[in-house]
A = this chain, B = another copy of it.
Amino acid sequence: MALKNKKEKNFSEWYTEIVGETGAKLADIRYGVQGFIAQRSLAVNIIRKIENLFEKEVEADGYEPILLPVVVPKKNIEIEKEHVEFAPELFWLTEAGGEKLEEPLYLRPTGESQIYPMYSLWIRSHKDLPFKRYQSRINVYRYEATTRPFLRGREFVFFESHGVFPTHEGVLKQVEKDVEITKKVVHKQLGVPYLLFTRPQWDKFKGAVNTYAPDCLMPDGKVSQIASTHDLGQRFSKAYNVTFTDENEKKQFAWQTCFGPGIWRILAGVIGIHGDNYGLVLPFEVAPVQIVIVPIVFEKTSKTVDQKCKELEKTLKAKSYRVKYDDSENTPGWKFNEWEMKGVPIRIEVGPDEIRKRRLTLVRRDTKKKETITEKELEHKIESYASGLLRNITKQAEGALKSAIKPAKNLEQVKKILEDKGIAKANWCSTEMDGENCADILQTETSGGKVRGTLFDEHEKATGNCIICKKQAKHVVYLAKSY
């Protein structure tokens, strides 16, 4: 059964439906605390696979895991005076064991204020550098006004790697590496393309010198930040006393960076960008079930069909595919719908017809095209379906992103582009703090349009005037509404 809400007609309703009880059962918003959701099995299984991809990459880059408490003592946030970005959004623990706590504790809104005091203890000498640690499969907490499953929550899944270097050059190289990792996982393995921006100064992480962040495009025309890498300079090392003695035994403040792929945001991108009116469409790499085997038996179970299915299941499992033989009592049609809803990339159908002709029927989730093959072809076909599916959904998403970007010469054109679910490209006076005034005007005039930044990879030279203040433009920026 298709979803009641059509994606192209009302993306927001479609998203709510596919996430919920009548959809792919990814999350349950009935947990009873606003902004906190129950993550169900399918979501957890996909999330773990996305986390694994990033864990593998950052570990190959020399990062080692640590796990710090979810609570942070009040004094830690006070040290961070200049950049207490999340202070107004904190959750506070004030009582425990029936008594008032001597020092209130807050739930971490991100790791800096808990990790860097430990770095200050762990790092002593230039020989300890680069010092690279990460936390994954953890949660962070922010008292957000509005929440949406996997897009914004008061609790959300977090991944953060924190690098410490003896020089600023080390930081910049790490930024390049983080950019590469993001590309490899998000774009290449999950088929979610994005624009990578250097955020304007007024929209960076407060404690950072610069914030670099990829935005993917959701089908409703809003962009969604799916990761961020911060050049922290020496700001935090000075606040938290992260120092090292150099070759001359002199104490130096370290240079720091942090990188955080937004695991939930990436999942939301996979759901929203690849999904269709029949449910999820999952890349083979992260599909908890990659292949489902459905027996086509109508009247009574057929022993031959059952045996063939079991044999196939065994063969494919031995080849390390994640395969499910659905031998439940439901009808084949029900099963088709069920596994399409859950995004299983490949379906194998085995019925009396297939048995007689010694063939198998294969269906690819994205195209829903059927093909009859011999068993000998199976493994090769699985591989080509897997790569074909990824290629197809990537191409579609790239096309949608590319065609959404439109140049704008003035505010009216920006308004029109944003209303048409597009991303406007325009001249801007500056992405330093003095450009913020124009950004405020833009946001008011377009009911939420934002300056996402300048492209990180490409230097686009501005040759006209700022579309708002008409001063000589210094930058070409991208404007969009956002999650």
**A-to-B contact residues, CB < 8 Å:** 28, 30-33, 36-41, 44-45, 47-48, 64-73, 75-76, 88-98, 105, 107, 114, 117-118, 121-122, 133, 137, 139, 143, 154-155, 157
Chain B residue nearest to A94 in the complex (CB): B94
**Structural contact, B66 and A40, CB atoms closer than 8 A:** yes
Contact of A92 among B40, B95, B107, B114 (CB under 8 A): B95
Task: Identify which of A41, A69, A107 gathers the most chain B CB atoms within 10 Å of its CB.
Answer: A69
Given known A-B contacts A92-B96, A96-B92, A107-B93, A41 and B68 have beta carbons under 8 A apart:
no
A97 touching B93 in the complex, CB below 8 Å, given contacts A41-B133, A48-B65: no
Are the C-beta atoms of B88 and A97 separated by less than 8 Å?
yes
Q: Inside 8 A of A66's CB, which chain B residues have their CB?
A: 38-41, 44
Chain B: CB-nearest residue to A288: B64
Residues A28 and B88 in contact in the complex (CB < 8 Å), given A44-B65, A94-B95: no
CB contacts (< 8 Å) of A92 on chain B: these are 93-96
A114 / chain B contacts, CB cutoff of 8 Å: 31
Q: Is the Cβ of A73 less than 8 Å from the Cβ of B32?
A: yes
List the B side residues contacting A91 at CB < 8 Å. Answer: 71, 93, 95-96
Cα(A117)–Cα(B90), bound, Å: 27
Chain B residues whose CB sits within 8 angstroms of the CB of A37 once the complex forms: 69
Which of B39, B105, B118, B139 touches A38 (beta carbons < 8 Å)? B118
Contacts of A137 in B (CB 8 A): 137
Are A96 and B105 within 8 A (Cβ)?
A: no
Assembled-state Cα–Cα distance A443/B47 (Å): 47
Most-contacted residue by chain B among A45, A72, A97, A155 (CB, 10 A): A97
A-B contact pairs, 19 of them (CB 8 A): A28-B121, A31-B69, A31-B118, A32-B73, A32-B117, A33-B69, A36-B71, A38-B69, A39-B67, A40-B66, A47-B67, A67-B157, A70-B139, A70-B155, A88-B97, A90-B97, A92-B95, A94-B94, A96-B154
Contacts of A155 in B (CB 8 A): 69-71
**B121–A69 contact, CB under 8 A?**
no
Quote the shortest CB–CB distance from A39 to chain B (angstroms). Answer: 4
**Chain A contact residues: helix, strand, loop or mixed:** mixed
Chain B residues positioned under 8 Å from A33 (CB to CB): 69, 71-73, 105
Chain B residues whose CB sits within 8 angstroms of the CB of A75 once the complex forms = 32
| Bound CA span A187–B48, Å | 28
A127 to chain B, nearest CB (A): 9
Least distance between A255 CB and chain B CB atoms (Å):
21
Structural contact, A65 and B36, CB atoms closer than 8 A? no
List 8 additional contacts besides A41-B64, A92-B96; criterion CB under 8 Å: A31-B114, A32-B117, A33-B69, A38-B67, A38-B118, A44-B64, A69-B139, A71-B155
Contact across chains for B70 and A70 when beta carbons are under 8 A apart: yes
Q: Are A68 and B39 in contact (CB under 8 A)?
A: yes
Give the complex CA separation of A67 and B114 in angstroms: 23
Top 10 A-B residue pairs of the complex, sorted by shortest distance between their CB atoms: A97-B143, A41-B64, A36-B69, A92-B95, A39-B67, A44-B65, A91-B96, A96-B143, A94-B94, A137-B137
Contact call A67/B93, Cβ cutoff below 8 A: no
Assess the A90–B96 pair: CB atoms within 8 A: yes
Docked CA distance A227–B157 (Å): 27
> Which residues on the B side are within 8 Å of A67 (C-beta)?
38-39, 44, 47, 157
A342 CB, min distance to chain B CBs, angstroms: 12
**Given known contacts A33-B69, A69-B31, A155-B71, A89 and B97 CB-to-CB distance under 8 angstroms:** yes
A143: min CB distance to chain B, Å: 3
A93–B106 CA distance with the chains assembled, in angstroms: 9
Contacting residues, chain B, for A73 (C-beta < 8 A): 32-33
Cβ distance A321 to chain B, nearest Cβ, rounded Å: 16
